[in-house]
């Protein structure tokens, strides 16, 4: 462990020792001894051969089966808590380092806007109560790093004792409101709003949007009521923030001897108007407009009388600029096939949701409540046309933009033609975007479904080509492209480090930077204002470093060839009946409905009988949990093997000059470093007959060897994480501690023990740092 900071390693060591003591106190000697025995054995087994690792896993699994149900839960909890504490230690160290960095970083320029869109899929896997205990523990760790050590150990042990007595996983399925409440209480926390205001006053615009309550796609429990509840929840939080600052302003004024009768009269009117917008109902926009008008008059009168500005009023001005109707704006989404149906039938919920928007927004702009209508599975111009027609039918005008979501091979390959046909059929659409929306035209790119359909290599290449084609198309029409990236979290969902995610985007994609944030990433990024500030600084820094690169024809044709070969290998695997059986039998696939980590059903309702119904995100969850991560790499090795020597030379020669290729190679290395193929084999061996298990494993192992060969031959490096050595150590630190939890998950699946299954899913997610 030469690359991790010593201060962080020391902190983890202290945490581990304290946790060990509390495991003994809470769970007793037997569990403590087993935890230590497994930890040491898996640590000593790191350098073993693949065969030796498999034998050791089988032997350890036998021990796991001998435990009582209560002992199995406790063992899982002990390891899961340790892994989450390592995450918290890293977060605390990051906070400490950022707080200690006194250097002033002047931003040369910033994007027009940075837009984070919060989604609930996948939902945060950890239980709400436990999250609060971990948050409190993280605050202790930060204080310790800052030198407050007097009662640290005793307080830490007290926290750990309570944590060990609490469930890791949620015990009930969350509602849409639960998901909104969880997210909004993090992202609209006072410290985050203060930072958002501070950045806005310095010319850096960071906007928040939400899909929670408005994402109807495949969700039977989303309707106009959840939409209203979501908006109301953010209204409540924002009104408290605004009222707090207004009251501070008034309290200071009362301490003076100034004659302020005119101000008092306007203030009384303002207080009544604040009360009038507490509840969102019909004509809310009109009441908000009156409130903003009154507030503007009050501010002008105050500045005229005092000849100065109130910092509290200035904060409220910023909040009103960021949230013009005092709500966190939603984005509404529906499957394009159902949008066609909704045009014929007003009883479709998506139509009712848009009508509700019309009712509440009269008097203000509809887009301050709902920023756009996302059309998922938009594969033809007729799909986009249906979206336009439905918005006009419900709102009477095109008051919110319709945003096509290109997420399948068909859609991404044809995006350029779809847009051309749309503009041809709607001659006024171009002028509408130019006059009403500052010439901006938004397109969403879906990473999860493209990865599920074709694998990460081909899916990401489809997106890379599509983004450049769309960019050129819209710029030629004198429109400003806004690319909304449906990505984040795991590699298969377009995640990874910020640099790897954005280094290959065209410059226009960073002028307005818009991405989804979901699951654990919400708390990880927005739970600490310093970490969010650091993230924003990284985006603005990358903006200044990115150079538009034109990919030459040889590189494009070679990548096309590799993508075609890779897709064929990937699809051939999932058309294999034995492999489909393996997915169902040897992953949590069949038991996802028993997990309590999302309000939306995990499986699609309509599909062919031979097709796996699983949605893209739960699909990735299965491969993350079983440590195989197949969508991230399967197929690319064979594609590399099968292209000719001259094509290989094109790829190798492009490695140093192509930001896109370097980004993919780095994310591939990250994925390969996290794979534990022997763990995946343990699942196969337990749930399939040996001959079928061996057959499937041989296919996967052979392809893994080819994928590693591709990485080594293109990068020239054997270390999978040569570009970020500390990350390799961080993964290694966690990896061996996840193995026992995988064995416990196998036990849970075998025994249909759903309580243990939920605990293992959450614990593995903590170790892998993503649910799926």
Residue 610 clears pLDDT 50, i.e. is over it: no
- Provide mean pLDDT across the span 256-270: 85
Residue 20 clears pLDDT 60, i.e. is over it: yes
Structural domain includes residue 191 = yes
Residue 494 clears pLDDT 70, i.e. is over it: no
Residue 493 clears pLDDT 60, i.e. is over it: no
Range name among 332-336, 407-411, 765-769 with the lowest pLDDT average: 765-769
* pLDDT band at residue 520 using 50, 70 and 90 as cut-offs: confident
* pLDDT band at residue 615 using 50, 70 and 90 as cut-offs: low
As given in the structure block, the two tokens for residue 122 are 């996948």
Domain that holds residue 705: 553-768
Q: Pick the last residue of a domain from 478, 502, 526.
A: 502
Q: Pick the last residue of a domain from 472, 502, 532.
A: 502
Q: Same structural domain for residues 583 and 656?
A: yes
Backbone angles phi, psi at 322, to 5 degrees: -75, -35
Residue 608 clears pLDDT 50, i.e. is over it: no
* pLDDT band at residue 33 using 50, 70 and 90 as cut-offs: very high
Q: Same structural domain for residues 626 and 585?
A: yes
Into how many domains does the chain fold? 3
Q: Same structural domain for residues 307 and 423?
A: no
Q: Same structural domain for residues 449 and 565?
A: no
- Provide mean pLDDT across the span 523-539: 92
Structural domain includes residue 75 = no
Angle between helix 456-476 and helix 409-425 axes, rounded to 10 deg: 20
CA distances from 186 to 132, 263, 522, 535 (A): 11, 35, 8, 16
Q: Same structural domain for residues 471 and 568?
A: no
- Provide mean pLDDT across the span 118-134: 81
Structural domain includes residue 741 = yes
Structural domain includes residue 123 = no
Given this model, what pLDDT does residue 609 score?
Answer: 35
Given this model, what pLDDT does residue 212 score?
Answer: 96
3-state helix/strand/coil string of 601-619 = CCECCCCCCCCCCECHHHH
- Provide mean pLDDT across the span 59-84: 97
Residue 666's nearest CA partner among 753, 611, 737, 725 is 725
Write b or e for each residue in 747-765: b if 16 or more Cβ atoms lie within 10 A of its Cβ, otherwise e.
bbbeeebebbbbbbbbbbb
* pLDDT tens profile 196-251: 999 999 999 999 999 999 999 999 999 999 999 999 999 999 999 999 999 999 99
- Provide mean pLDDT across the span 17-25: 98
Q: Same structural domain for residues 406 and 377?
A: yes
Q: Same structural domain for residues 317 and 334?
A: no
For 121, the 3-state DSSP assignment is coil
Given this model, what pLDDT does residue 397 score?
Answer: 97
Given this model, what pLDDT does residue 667 score?
Answer: 93
As given in the structure block, the two tokens for residue 381 are 């111009």
Q: Same structural domain for residues 318 and 394?
A: no
What average pLDDT does the chain have? 91
Q: Same structural domain for residues 489 and 592?
A: no
Residues in the chain: 772
Q: Same structural domain for residues 340 and 317?
A: no
Residue 611 clears pLDDT 50, i.e. is over it: no
Structural domain includes residue 427 = yes
DSSP label at 487? -
Given this model, what pLDDT does residue 771 score?
Answer: 59
Structural domain includes residue 735 = yes
Structural domain includes residue 185 = yes
* pLDDT tens profile 281-308: 999 999 999 999 999 999 999 998 888 9
User: What is the CA angle 146-147-151, rounded to 5?
Assistant: 120
Range name among 452-466, 534-548, 719-733 with the lowest pLDDT average: 534-548
- Provide mean pLDDT across the span 683-704: 94
Burial class (CB in 10 A: 0-12, 13-18, 19+), 109: exposed
Structural domain includes residue 754 = yes
Range name among 64-73, 139-148, 406-415, 569-578 with the lowest pLDDT average: 569-578
* pLDDT band at residue 607 using 50, 70 and 90 as cut-offs: very low
Q: Same structural domain for residues 398 and 349?
A: yes
Residue 764 clears pLDDT 90, i.e. is over it: yes
- Provide mean pLDDT across the span 77-96: 96
* pLDDT band at residue 489 using 50, 70 and 90 as cut-offs: low
Given this model, what pLDDT does residue 587 score?
Answer: 87
- What's 468's domain CATH number? 3.20.20
Give the list of residues 6+ apart from residue 280 with CB closer than 8 angstroms, or none.
228, 231, 232, 235, 327, 360
Given this model, what pLDDT does residue 62 score?
Answer: 97
Q: Same structural domain for residues 615 and 656?
A: yes
Give the list of residues 6+ apart from residue 89 with CB closer than 8 angstroms, or none.
8, 11, 12, 15, 141
Q: Pick the last residue of a domain from 322, 355, 370.
A: 322
């Amino acid at each position: 462990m030469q690359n991790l900071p010593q201060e962080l390693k020391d902190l983890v060591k202290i945490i581990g020792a304290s946790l060990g003591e509390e495991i003994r106190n809470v769970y007793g000697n037997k569990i403590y001894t087993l935890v230590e025995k497994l930890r040491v054995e898996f640590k000593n087994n790191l350098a073993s051969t693949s065969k030796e690792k498999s034998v050791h896993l089988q032997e350890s699994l036998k021990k796991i089966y001998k435990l009582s149900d209560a002992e199995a839960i406790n063992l899982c909890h002990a390891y899961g808590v340790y892994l989450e504490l390592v995450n918290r230690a890293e977060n605390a160290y990051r906070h400490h380092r950022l707080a200690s960095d006194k250097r002033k970083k002047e931003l040369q320029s910033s994007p027009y806007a940075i837009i984070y869109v919060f989604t609930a899929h996948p939902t945060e896997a950890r239980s709400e109560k436990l999250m609060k205990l971990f948050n409190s523990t993280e605050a202790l760790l930060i204080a310790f790093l800052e030198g407050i050590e007097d009662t640290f150990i005793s307080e830490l042990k007290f926290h750990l004792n309570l944590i060990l007595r609490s469930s890791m996983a949620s015990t009930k399925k969350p509602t849409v409101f639960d998901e909104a409440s969880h997210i909004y209480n993090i992202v609209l926390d006072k410290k985050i709003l203060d930072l958002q205001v501070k950045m806005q006053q310095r010319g850096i615009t960071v906007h928040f949007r939400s899909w929670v309550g408005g994402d109807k796609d495949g969700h039977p429990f989303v309707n106009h009521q959840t939409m209203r509840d979501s908006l109301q929840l953010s209204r409540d939080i924002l009104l408290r923030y605004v009222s707090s600052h207004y009251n501070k302003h008034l309290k200071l004024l009362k301490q003076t001897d100034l004659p302020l009768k005119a101000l008092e009269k306007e203030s009384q009117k303002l207080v009544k108007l604040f009360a009038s917008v507490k509840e969102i109902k019909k004509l809310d926009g009109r009441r908000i407009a009156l409130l903003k008008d009154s507030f503007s008059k009050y501010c002008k009168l105050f500045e005229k009388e005092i000849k100065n500005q109130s910092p509290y009023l200035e904060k409220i001005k910023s909040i009103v600029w960021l949230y013009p109707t005092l709500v966190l704006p939603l984005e509404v989404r529906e499957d394009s096939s159902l949008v066609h149906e909704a045009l014929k039938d007003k009883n479709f919920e998506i139509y009712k949701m848009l009508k509700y928007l019309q009712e509440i927004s009269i008097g203000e702009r509809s887009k301050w409540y709902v920023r756009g209508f996302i059309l998922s599975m938009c594969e033809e111009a007729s799909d986009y046309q249906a979206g336009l027609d439905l918005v006009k039918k419900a709102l009477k005008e095109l008051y919110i933009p319709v945003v096509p979501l290109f997420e399948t091979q068909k859609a991404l390959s044809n995006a350029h033609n779809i847009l051309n046909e749309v503009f041809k059929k709607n001659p006024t659409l171009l002028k509408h975007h130019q006059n009403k929306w500052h010439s901006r035209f938004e397109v969403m790119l879906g990473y999860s479904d493209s990865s599920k359909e074709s694998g990460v290599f081909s899916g990401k290449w489809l997106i890379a080509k599509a983004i450049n084609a769309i960019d050129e198309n819209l710029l030629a029409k004198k429109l400003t492209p806004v690319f909304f990236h449906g990505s984040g979290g795991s590699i298969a969902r377009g995640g990874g480090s910020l640099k790897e995610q954005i280094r290959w985007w065209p410059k226009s994609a960073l002028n307005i930077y818009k991405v989804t944030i979901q699951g654990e990433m919400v708390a990880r990024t927005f739970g600490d204002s310093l970490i969010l500030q650091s993230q924003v600084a990284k985006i603005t820094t990358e903006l200044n470093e990115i150079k538009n690169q034109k990919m030459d024809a040889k590189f494009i044709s070679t990548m096309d060839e590799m993508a075609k070969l890779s897709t064929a290998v990937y699809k051939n695997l999932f058309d294999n009946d034995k492999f489909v059986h393996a997915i169902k039998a040897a992953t949590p696939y069949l038991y996802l409905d028993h997990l309590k980590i999302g309000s939306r059903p995990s499986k699609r309702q309509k599909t062919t009988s031979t097709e796996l119904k699983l949605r893209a995100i739960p699909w990735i969850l299965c491969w993350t949990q079983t440590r195989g991560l197949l969508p991230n790499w399967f197929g690319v090795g064979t594609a590399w093997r099968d292209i000719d020597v001259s094509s290989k030379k094109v790829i190798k020669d492009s490695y140093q000059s192509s930001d896109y290729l370097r980004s993919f190679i780095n994310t591939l290395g990250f994925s390969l470093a996290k794979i534990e193929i022997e763990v995946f084999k343990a699942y196969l061996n337990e749930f399939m007959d040996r001959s079928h298990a061996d057959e499937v494993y041989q296919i996967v192992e052979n392809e893994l060897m080819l994928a590693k060969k591709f990485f080594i031959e293109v990068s020239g490096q054997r270390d999978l994480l040569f570009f970020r050595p500390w990350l390799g150590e961080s993964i290694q630190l966690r990896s061996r501690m996840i193995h026992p939890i995988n064995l416990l998950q196998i036990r849970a699946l075998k025994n249909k023990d759903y309580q243990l299954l939920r605990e293992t899913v959450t614990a593995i997610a903590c170790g892998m740092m993503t649910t799926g």
